[in-house]
């Protein structure tokens, strides 16, 4: 590790609408300011403040999110730090393109590339730094791809799981990745103590990523040299990129490789997968989670999640609701149905109400 560098690659092209109506396809949640100061993307970049200097930080996103990414990352990434995906082709081609872009920017096969989501909430920055550096050490010393796993604290059915094997360095070998389980299966995972949640944070030497792509997704890796040749020509890049097979990084490499290791996170973590998830990261006001509001009044009302910027919100004799209001829409639903927001989004798409998406 002495002479190698660490590059940070932040994945910011997602279009999640689980926090609709505030998160939309035109402005997904990574560009929202929901918790603390700045957007979630800004907060992600800030976590690397004392770990990776800005010139080694890059963002991969789509052309239509370019301006949003620029405004959220000013001074926090390389001056040419935006890698623009010509079209959405899932995470594996996106990462292959990014590796070629980093190599073009001067990264060597011995340098570590850390792939990070842009839209997660992590409040314990010191814990994050320690875990991150431990993971860098493990992937470097073992020539593996190291994933940071989250210790499960309840049987969640919305996450993939990582099964740990024997100890290696300051972490463990990964025996296998498991798909999102049903509730009973998730309970059995927790009982064994062998499983971690897969949070999509992983790193490895650039040369190790290339080796694993070549070994497990040769049809995809066949385009790597072509990507390098056209990386500075957007038109030619779009033609090459359109030919790369679509696949997720999990299927293309992570679930096939026998060179995956894991480090359990020693920090808090929340992927804000629903409005209800904000309860874990926002302090309560009179027993309610007021994410944003001009002012708030509650009488005989507890357990509600409220998001209504610049509005006075009053709740009387209602419990466990999600109440969301912005300049475009109002949405109210029981908290336990928070995932059903996708039904609203499906309705808007079917009725071609694009101004609300």
The CATH code of the domain that includes 205 is 3.90.550.10
Give the CB-side neighbour count of residue 332, counting CA atoms within 13 A: 7
Q: 3 pLDDT band (50/70/90 cuts)?
A: low
Q: Report how far residue 170's alpha carbon sits from residue 303's, in angstroms, rounded to the nearest whole number.
A: 40
Same domain, 220 and 328: no
Q: 219 pLDDT band (50/70/90 cuts)?
A: very high
Same domain, 292 and 253: no
Q: Look at residue 180 in the predicted model and tell me its pLDDT.
A: 86
Burial class (CB in 10 A: 0-12, 13-18, 19+), 219: exposed
pLDDT tens column, 105-114: 999 999 999 9
What's the whole-number mean pLDDT along residues 250-270? 94
Same domain, 233 and 325: no
Q: Report how far residue 53's alpha carbon sits from residue 64's, in angstroms, rounded to the nearest whole number.
A: 27
Contact call for residues 60 and 98 (beta carbons, < 8 A): yes
**Cα 235 to Cα 157, 209, 225, 296, distances in angstroms:** 42, 26, 17, 52
pLDDT tens column, 157-183: 888 999 999 999 889 999 999 888 899
Beta bridge partners of 84: 61
Q: Look at residue 147 in the predicted model and tell me its pLDDT.
A: 96
Q: 1 pLDDT band (50/70/90 cuts)?
A: low
Mean pLDDT of the chain: 93
Q: Which of 280, 294, 264, 43 is nearest to 132 (CA)?
A: 264
Per the listing, tokens 């850390």 go with 114
Q: Report how far residue 353's alpha carbon sits from residue 252's, in angstroms, rounded to the nearest whole number.
A: 35
Same domain, 312 and 235: no
What's the whole-number mean pLDDT along residues 196-220? 96
Using DSSP, state whether 21 is helix, strand or coil.
coil
Q: Report how far residue 105's alpha carbon sits from residue 114's, in angstroms, rounded to the nearest whole number.
A: 15
Last residue of a domain, one of 205, 238, 264: 264
What's the whole-number mean pLDDT along residues 277-287? 91
Same domain, 135 and 13: yes
Q: Is pLDDT of 156 > 90?
A: no
Q: Look at residue 15 in the predicted model and tell me its pLDDT.
A: 78
Q: 13 pLDDT band (50/70/90 cuts)?
A: confident
pLDDT tens column, 33-70: 888 889 999 999 999 998 999 999 999 999 889 999 99
Q: Report how far residue 310's alpha carbon sits from residue 323's, in angstroms, rounded to the nearest whole number.
A: 14
Same domain, 219 and 305: no
Same domain, 60 and 87: yes
Same domain, 228 and 292: no
pLDDT tens column, 229-242: 999 999 999 999 99
Helix, strand, coil percentages (3-state) for the chain, rounded to 5, are 35, 25, 35
Last residue of a domain, one of 207, 242, 264: 264
This prediction has a pTM of 0.91
| Burial 224-238, CB ≥16 within 10 A → b, else e | bebbeebbeeeeebe
Domain span at residue 335 reads 275-356
Q: Report how far residue 78's alpha carbon sits from residue 85's, in angstroms, rounded to the nearest whole number.
A: 17
Same domain, 25 and 163: yes
Per the listing, tokens 């004799």 go with 317
| Burial 107-127, CB ≥16 within 10 A → b, else e | beeebbbbbbbbbbbbeebee
Same domain, 69 and 176: yes
Same domain, 183 and 236: yes
Same domain, 154 and 297: no
Q: Is pLDDT of 88 > 70?
A: yes
**104 or 157, greater pLDDT:** 104
Using DSSP, state whether 287 is helix, strand or coil.
coil
Domain count, the chain: 2
Is 198 inside a domain boundary? Answer: yes
Last residue of a domain, one of 219, 241, 264: 264
Q: 299 pLDDT band (50/70/90 cuts)?
A: very high
Q: Report how far residue 122's alpha carbon sits from residue 87's, in angstroms, rounded to the nearest whole number.
A: 29
| pLDDT above 90 coverage of the chain, percent | 80
262: which 2 tokens? Answer: 């894991």
């Amino acid at each position: 590790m002495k002479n190698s560098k660490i590059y940070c690659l932040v994945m910011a092209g997602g279009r999640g609408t689980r926090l609709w109506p505030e998160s939309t396809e035109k402005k997904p949640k990574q560009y929202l300011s929901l918790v603390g100061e700045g957007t979630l993307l800004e907060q992600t970049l800030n976590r690397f403040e004392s770990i990776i200097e800005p010139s080694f930080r890059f963002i991969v996103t789509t052309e239509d999110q370019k301006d949003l990414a620029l405004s959220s990352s000013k001074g926090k990434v390389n001056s040419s730090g935006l890698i623009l995906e010509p079209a959405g082709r899932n995470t594996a081609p996106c990462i292959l393109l990014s590796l070629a872009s980093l190599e073009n920017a001067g990264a060597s096969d011995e340098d570590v590339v850390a792939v990070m989501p842009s839209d997660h909430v992590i409040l314990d920055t010191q814990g994050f730094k320690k875990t991150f550096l431990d993971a860098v050490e493990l992937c470097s010393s073992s020539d593996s791809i190291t994933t940071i796993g989250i210790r499960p604290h309840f049987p969640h059915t919305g996450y993939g799981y990582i099964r740990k094997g024997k100890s290696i360095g300051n972490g463990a070998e990964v025996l296998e990745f498991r798909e999102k389980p049903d509730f009973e299966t998730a309970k059995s995972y927790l009982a064994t103590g062998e499983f971690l949640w897969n949070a999509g944070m992983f790193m490895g030497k650039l040369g190790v990523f290339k080796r694993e792509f070549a070994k497990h997704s040769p049809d995809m890796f066949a385009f790597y040299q072509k990507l390098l040749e056209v990386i500075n020509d957007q038109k030619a890049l779009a033609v090459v990129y359109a030919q790369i097979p679509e696949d997720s990084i999990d299927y293309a490499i992570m679930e096939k490789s026998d060179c995956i290791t894991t480090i359990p996170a020693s920090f808090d973590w929340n992927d804000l997968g629903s409005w209800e998830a904000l309860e874990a990261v926002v302090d309560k006001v009179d027993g309610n989670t007021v994410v944003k509001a001009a002012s708030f009044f509650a009488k005989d009302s507890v357990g509600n999640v409220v998001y209504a910027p610049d509005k006075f919100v009053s709740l009387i004799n209602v419990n466990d609701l999600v109440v969301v209001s912005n300049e475009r829409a109002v949405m109210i639903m029981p908290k336990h149905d928070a995932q059903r927001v996708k039904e609203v989004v499906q309705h808007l798409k079917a009725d071609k109400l694009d101004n609300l998406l």
